[in-house]
């Protein structure tokens, strides 16, 4: 049986959409000793009101951190702030959730330019790369504090990269007609490779690295016609995460834990 998530958890892009729901359900489901670092670009802005309200409902359990994943200085400052608070315990779970999709859907070839490609890559790939790199010492510390040999888990030390079904090359013939999205698809395929490389790199530290597709979810990014609510998507992902182990590191899974082909 899987053990629930716990410890120090850091989530990006949490002022709305799937990220906000992740923080809500993590706050509900994790133990008293766990702490959630919920990141957003503008903690004082109107767009973060729901997140601020959530933080007041769970005093001492949620800390809002300012973070723009496209800005290296912002990443460095966020890591520094969190490191000062959790240097002894380490970081148990890093969820790279923040992402953008440009240009606006349907994002066909004719509407897509170099800037779209670069902006999306910066946020969706370079951001998670730098964040994970800077958090590595804290992830290692959390892994070392656990005495379960070489067993990996999200409770011990893990990185979850939120990817997408439409990053799958094998699935491209069936998914391309409804969602062209060159910058987004290629950025998430790169995020998958980042997942795979880091899984290899961090294997010796017993840090799990897995990419998860949240489903097609009704958010600003997913659109009104998406069949899944944020509640159901997050409920499902949070029931999969505690069951992840060594065999899942370096893989792309869907919200039910099924493997998606590259
Ligand atoms: P939303 O567009 O609803 O939310 C995106 C979040 O990311 C917002 O909090 C946004 O903050 C944040 N964000 C964007 N850019 C940055 C940045 N540079 N720095 C920090 N935060 C940033 O998206 P979803 O909730 O739908 O998506 C969450 C994740 O799920 C993404 O990784 C997405 O690719 C993935 N996904 C979603 C699907 C869906 O159907 N919804 C399907 C498959 C995957 P701000 O308010 O400041 O813009």
Secondary structure of the chain as H, E, C letters = CCCCCCCEEEECCCCCHHHHHHHHHHHHHCCCCCEEEEEECCCCCHHHHHHHHHHHHCCCCEEEEECCCCCHHHHHHHHHHHHHHHCCCCCCEEEECCCCCCCCCCCCHHHCCHHHHHHHHHHHHHHHHHHHHHHHHHHHHHHHHCCCCCCCCCCCCEEEEECCHHHCCCCHHHHHHHCCCHHHHHHHHHHHHHHHHHHHHCHHHCCEEEEEECCCECCCCCCCCCCECHHHHHHHHHHHHHHCCHHHCCCEEECCCCECCC
Complex ipTM value: 0.99
Distance 204 CA to ligand 1 centre (A): 31
Query: Is any atom of ligand 1 closer than 6 Å to the C-beta of 254?
Result: no
Tell the residue nearest (CA) to atom 19 of ligand 1.
68
**Residue 3: per-residue pLDDT:** 56
Per-residue tokens: 33: 């000793």
Query: Is any atom of ligand 1 closer than 6 Å to the C-beta of 18?
Result: yes
Query: Is any atom of ligand 1 closer than 6 Å to the C-beta of 19?
Result: yes
* Polymer length of the chain: 262
Averaged over successive runs of 10 residues, the pLDDT of the chain (262 residues) comes to 80 98 97 95 98 96 98 98 94 98 90 97 98 98 94 97 97 94 97 98 98 98 97 98 98 98 96
> Which atom of ligand 1 is least distant from the CA of 42?
47
Alpha carbon distance 208, 142 (integer Å):
12
Nearest alpha carbon to residue 200 among 250, 125, 158: 250
**Residue 87: per-residue pLDDT:** 81
Measure Cα distances from 215 to 14, 102, 236 in Å. 17, 19, 10
Query: Is any atom of ligand 1 closer than 6 Å to the C-beta of 94?
Result: no
| Pair 27, 44: CB distance under 8 Å | no
**Residue 208: per-residue pLDDT:** 98
Measure Cα distances from 96 to 53, 106, 135, 152, 166 in Å. 22, 24, 12, 18, 17
| Residue 53 burial by Cβ neighbours in a 10 Å radius (0-12, 13-18, 19+) | exposed
Nearest alpha carbon to residue 138 among 202, 92, 78, 195: 92
Would you say the pTM of this structure is higher than 0.95?
yes
Query: Is any atom of ligand 1 closer than 6 Å to the C-beta of 117?
Result: no
| Pair 225, 212: CB distance under 8 Å | no
| Pair 102, 183: CB distance under 8 Å | yes
The β-bridge partners of 252 are 211
Nearest alpha carbon to residue 97 among 38, 177, 50: 38
Alpha carbon distance 10, 95 (integer Å):
6
């Amino acid at each position: 049986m899987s053990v629930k998530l716990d410890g120090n958890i850091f989530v990006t892009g949490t002022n709305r959409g799937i990220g906000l729901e992740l923080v809500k359900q993590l706050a509900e489901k994790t133990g008293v000793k766990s702490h959630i670092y919920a990141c957003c670009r503008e903690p004082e802005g109107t767009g973060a009101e729901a997140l601020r309200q959530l933080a007041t409902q769970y005093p001492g359990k949620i800390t809002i951190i300012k973070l723009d994943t496209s800005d290296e200085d912002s990443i460095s400052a966020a890591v520094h702030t969190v490191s000062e608070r959790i240097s002894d315990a380490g970081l148990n779970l890093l969820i790279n959730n923040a992402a953008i999709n440009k240009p606006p859907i349907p994002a066909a070839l004719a509407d897509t330019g170099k800037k779209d490609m670069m902006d999306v890559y910066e946020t969706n790939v370079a951001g998670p790369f730098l964040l994970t790199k800077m958090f590595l010492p804290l992830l290692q510390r959390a892994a070392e504090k656990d005495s379960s040999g070489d067993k990996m888990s999200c409770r011990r030390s893990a990185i979850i990269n939120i990817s997408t079904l439409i990053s799958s090359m094998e699935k491209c013939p069936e998914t391309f007609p409804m969602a062209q999205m060159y910058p987004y698809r290629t950025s998430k395929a790169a995020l998958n490779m980042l997942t795979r490389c880091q899984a290899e790199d961090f294997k010796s530290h017993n840090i799990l690295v897995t990419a998860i597709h949240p489903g097609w979810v009704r958010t600003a990014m997913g659109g009104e016609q998406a069949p899944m609510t944020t509640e159901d998507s997050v409920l499902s992902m949070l029931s999969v995460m505690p069951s992840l182990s060594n065999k899942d590191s370096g893989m792309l899974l869907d919200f039910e834990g099924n493997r998606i082909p590259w």
